[in-house]
Amino acid sequence: MRQSLQFGLASILLLCLVSAASARNAQRLRIAPRFVKGETLRYSIDTSTSSNEHDVTPVINPEGASEYRESMSLVLRLEVLDIAPAASPAQELVRFRVIFEQANSGSQANAYAPRADAFDDAINSLKGHSFEFSLQPGGKLEDVQGLDRIAPQRDVAARVLSWLHVLFAPVEIPARGITLGQKWTNERQLTDLPLKGLVWRNESAYLRNEPCAASSGVKGVQFPGESAGCAVLLTRFRVLRHGSDHSDATPEIYIHNGLRTSGQWTGSGESLDAISLESGLLVSSTQTATQDMDYEIRSAISGSAIHHTGQMTTQTEITLLPPAVR
């Protein structure tokens, strides 16, 4: 009788533990956008940038502007062309067409700035044009076709791809998923910069769930997946350098070309993102970022140098436009 009772209590305890574990797993959120072939998504992207930068060089720079203000406003229409079969939505390969419904850019400078004017012209010329790409699991873009034709300038094409990356992977989520109130960190190396060892470190938190319309600021309309609401995530980031401030900061490519670099490049900011609990789509994102630069590039042979200092501040608003908005 005692053994039966002990067995019964053990069974009940095990069942309770399994139920509790299942409840915890059910509450763990794994964010991955889910798409339907033939559907259309429309996003507005508004960004403003102000910078104050200065170069000291052996040769006088004919483009004398040092203070810039730039504003851009775009509406992107994303058409889901095809979805490769997969075991789960998180493993799907999705083919998109991107159409620039709107594309406006305007810059102001304190002096002659032909590069700023050329950038504005390149952005404005995107209106009405399109290109295609495939989205891999995890938000990686591949097989981009047509972008080089409509945006031959490398900096313009890079800016477009960075916007798309934010749309599909605004926050790096742990593989196990996240729970309400959870905090986590991650970092990635920054390359193609004049200083090595720089990293982008994120500190993220799952703040709350709320109606998607409240997150987007678009009132009186119904979002896809509105009944489930949106997860609100806050990410604060820093740009910093690993290692001693006195260690060699020269990237290999600069050393190969007979150059040495030194100095600092720091940054900070935050992003508040609302992601649909039902579709996994980014509904809204508000981002602010500031970068401070003070570095020197010197020739190891001649000793001539370029000293660059500056600060750049960027604000970006991204909103998923509901079907009713045209």
Any idea where the domains of the chain sit in the sequence? 29-169, 178-326
| Two tokens, residue 106 | 């305007």
Whether the Cβ atoms of residue 256 and residue 239 lie closer than 8 Å to each other = no
Residues 6+ apart with CB under 8 A from 168: 33, 135, 139, 141, 282
Question: First vs last Cα of the chain: how many Å apart?
Answer: 73
β-bridge partners, 289: 269, 314
* 194 secondary structure, DSSP code: S
Round to whole Å and give the CA distance between 97 and 80. 7
Closest CA to 204 of 187, 183, 189, 188: 183
Residues 6+ apart with CB under 8 A from 192: none
Q: Output the CA–CA distances (angstroms, integers) from residue 112 to 63, 70, 156, in the order listed.
A: 6, 15, 21
Closest CA to 119 of 148, 149, 146, 155: 155
- Per residue of the chain (326 residues), what is the pLDDT tens digit? 444 444 454 444 444 443 444 344 446 878 788 888 999 999 999 999 998 877 776 655 555 556 788 999 999 999 999 998 776 666 788 999 999 999 999 888 766 666 778 888 999 999 999 999 999 887 789 999 999 999 999 889 998 999 998 898 888 888 888 999 999 999 999 888 899 999 999 999 999 999 887 665 554 455 555 567 899 999 999 999 887 767 888 999 999 999 999 999 999 999 999 999 988 899 999 999 999 999 999 998 888 998 989 999 999 999 998 764 43
